[in-house]
Structure 1
Amino acid sequence: MKALVLSGGAGTRLRPITHTSAKQLVPVANKPILFYGLEAIAAADIVEVGMIVGETAKEIEQAVGDGSDFGLKVTYIPQSAPLGLAHAVLIAREFLGDDDFVMYLGDNFVFGGITDLVDEFRKDKPDAQILLTRVPDPTAFGVAVLDEKGQVVGLEEKPERPRSDLAVVGVYLFTPGVHEAVRSIEVSPRGELEITDAIQWMIDRQHDVRSTVISGYWKDTGNVTDMLEVNRTLLEGLEPRIEGFVDAESEIIGRVRIDAGAEVRGSRIVGPVVIGPGSVVVDSYVGPSTSIAENCLIRNSEIEFSIVLRDSSFDSIRRIEASLIGRNVTVTLSPRVPATHRLVIGDHGRVQISS
């Protein structure tokens, strides 16, 4: 069995972060979101991985390499433009051959991995298997309709009027039968070859398409809110560890990991928090659900429920929360200027000005 990992999207909902960085490499709990997917694939005893890459290909290749750090063998497959998930299957035909495969969206996070799902697929061998989860707003996802027996009878991609609240999670399993399906469908009104259309094509021709409704944690980390939520969830399972320097005036509370080379001086750290190597926190408060990457400086500031990427600094800032801060960012106080008022008031006017 092989894996096809999609890492070619532009990440428009995470701009401006993704103007200069691949969305799949934005870290949560100080590790790129893509790495969690690769680790889940390796844990399911899959070795050969095809990586769909686009305009951020060099950055992805530099981060992942040949896959050996994950126990994988990675083959890069360039995609000229993000033309849909079914298009990714189409261009990966030579790599996939006649093997079964799992398709995993590189910016998705499935808590607990995919091992059980892959084992079930290997045992039962349906033509396709999809993961579903209930969401409050299905219009942003592919949506599945099940019959009274729980069989998939219909799929729609981002429908304006969803027929159910079951969203398709970004993990799919296929036998080689899907290749005929992706060759047979037409481009959608969105200008893409939709994988939901390919699966619907299989359903219409009586292929065995099964679904698993998961009640566990899943997130499409396509926006800041979801990135912060995944970060919070991962940090809740953080193993506390202090390998860096913490002075006697500092207070460390709860699940806190301070990596080697990091320093905490005169500060209060309330976990779950991770502070990366080379980072320095001085006379500051770092609150729950915060990840500070490597070589950052937090001085005389307060920050919580946030992600701070590498080489960034805060100096005398109160207070930061629910924020995603990019690489090499500097945040300082602006110079204080005298408060003034410029007025042009007509005859008989009445004006009240607060101090």
Structure 2
Amino acid sequence: MKALVLAGGSGTRLRPITHTSAKQLVPVANKPVLFYGLEAIAAAGIREVGIIVGDTHREIEAAVGDGSAFGLSVTYLRQDAPLGLAHAVLIAREYLGDDDFVMYLGDNFIVGGIEPLVRRFRADRPAAQIMLTRVGDPRQFGVAELDGTGRVVGLEEKPREPKSDLALVGVYLFTAAVHEAVAALKPSWRGELEITDAIQWLIDAGRRVESTVVSGYWKDTGNVADMLEVNRLLLETVEQRLDGEVDPGSEIIGRVVVEAGARVTGSRIVGPVVVGAGAQVRDSYVGPFTSIAEDCQVVDSEIEYSILLRRASIHGVRRIEASLIGHDVEVTPAPNTPRAHRLVLGDHSKVQISS
């Protein structure tokens, strides 16, 4: 069995962060989202992985390499334009051969991994196996319609008028039967080859398509709110580890990780929090569910429930919360103090904030 990981796409919902970074490499708990997916694939016993890449291919390839760091053998497959999930299957046809495969969207996070799903698929081998979850706005997703017995009778990609609130989770399992379906597709009204249309083709052709409705299982990290929520979920699992320097004037409460080379002085940190290697936290308060990446600086400031990317610096600011702050961003005081700040800043930004 192989895996097909989709790591193209422009990440419009995470702009301006994704103007300069691949959306799959934006970190949660100081590790790129894509890495969690690759680790989940390896944990499910899959070793051969094809990664679909687009304009950000150099960044993805530099981060993942040959896959050996994850126990995988990785092959990169270029997609010149984001023409749909089924188009990714089409261009991967030669690589996939007649093998069963799991298709994994690289910006999705599956709580608990995919090993149980892969095990069930290998045992039953339907033509396709999909996961569904209830969402507030199904217009943003592929949507499934079930009959009274729970059988899938219809699928539609990002419908203007959804027939249900059941969205397809970003993990699909297929046998080689899907290639016949993909070959028969025409572009949708969006101009893309839709994987939902391919699965509908299998249903119409009498092929067996299994589905499971899951709850609290999946997060699409395509927007800031979900990035912060996944960060929270992952930080809930950390255990205290103080490999860096923490001076006697600092107070560390709860599950806090201070990586080697990081320095905390005169500060109060309430976990769960991760402070990356080379980062400095000085005369500051860092609250729960905050990830501070490598070589960041937080000085004379307050921040919580936020993500700081590499080399970001915050000096003399109160108070930042529910924020995603990009690489090399500088946040400093300015006149006219607001009570709180909520920021989404692109890489290399310079922002002055009243404090």
TM-score, normalising length: structure 1: 0.93
State yes or no: 1:36 paired with 2:36: yes
Instruction: Name the CA distance, whole Å, in 2 between partners of 1:151 and 1:175.
Output: 19
Residues 121-132 of structure 1 mapped to structure 2, 5 A cutoff: 121-132=121-132
Residues 271-310 of structure 1 mapped to structure 2, 5 A cutoff: 271-310=271-310
Instruction: Name the CA distance, whole Å, in 2 between partners of 1:215 and 1:117.
Output: 14
Q: Which moved more, 1:104-113 or 1:243-252?
A: 243-252
Correspondence for 1:233:
233
Deviation at 1:334, TM superposition (A): 3.0
State yes or no: 1:133 paired with 2:133: yes
Deviation at 1:335, TM superposition (A): 6.5
Instruction: Name the CA distance, whole Å, in 1 between partners of 2:228 and 2:17.
Output: 14
Instruction: Name the CA distance, whole Å, in 2 between partners of 1:130 and 1:81.
Output: 25
Instruction: Name the CA distance, whole Å, in 2 between partners of 1:222 and 1:90.
Output: 24
Correspondence for 1:92:
92
Instruction: Name the CA distance, whole Å, in 1 between partners of 2:300 and 2:102.
Output: 48
Paired residue secondary structure (1:333) = strand
Q: Deviations over 1:61-84 (max 9, x none)?
A: 000000000000000000000000
State yes or no: 1:57 paired with 2:57: yes
Structure 2 counterpart of 1:31, which letter? K
Correspondence for 1:80:
80
Instruction: Decide which structure has the larger Cα Rg and report it.
Output: 1
Correspondence for 2:353:
none
Equivalent pairs counted in the alignment come to: 336
Instruction: Name the CA distance, whole Å, in 2 between partners of 1:239 and 1:291.
Output: 14
Instruction: Name the CA distance, whole Å, in 2 between partners of 1:214 and 1:120.
Output: 15
Instruction: Name the CA distance, whole Å, in 2 between partners of 1:110 and 1:129.
Output: 16
Structure 1 counterpart of 2:101, which letter? F
Q: Deviations over 1:243-268 (max 9, x none)?
A: 11111111111111111111110000
Instruction: Name the CA distance, whole Å, in 2 between partners of 1:80 and 1:194.
Output: 17
Instruction: Name the CA distance, whole Å, in 1 between partners of 2:256 and 2:216.
Output: 25
Instruction: Name the CA distance, whole Å, in 1 between partners of 2:72 and 2:151.
Output: 34
Instruction: Name the CA distance, whole Å, in 1 between partners of 2:278 and 2:56.
Output: 27
CA RMSD for the aligned pairs? 0.9
Structure 1 counterpart of 2:45, which letter? D
Deviation at 1:217, TM superposition (A): 2.4
Correspondence for 2:311:
311
> What 5-or-longer segments of structure 1 have no aligned partner?
337-355
Structure 1 counterpart of 2:14, which letter? L
Q: Which moved more, 1:128-137 or 1:168-177?
A: 128-137
Q: Deviations over 1:75-119 (max 9, x none)?
A: 000000000000000000010000000000000000000000000
Deviation at 1:148, TM superposition (A): 2.4
Correspondence for 1:268:
268
Instruction: Name the CA distance, whole Å, in 2 between partners of 1:38 and 1:222.
Output: 18
Deviation at 1:161, TM superposition (A): 1.9
Correspondence for 2:252:
252
Structure 2 counterpart of 1:162, which letter? P
Residues 60-209 of structure 1 mapped to structure 2, 5 A cutoff: 60-209=60-209
Instruction: Name the CA distance, whole Å, in 2 between partners of 1:218 and 1:239.
Output: 23
> What 5-or-longer segments of structure 2 have no aligned partner?
337-355
Instruction: Name the CA distance, whole Å, in 2 between partners of 1:159 and 1:181.
Output: 21
Correspondence for 2:221:
221
* Identity over aligned pairs, percent: 73
Instruction: Name the CA distance, whole Å, in 2 between partners of 1:204 and 1:88.
Output: 22
Deviation at 1:320, TM superposition (A): 0.6
Moved over 3 A (4+): none
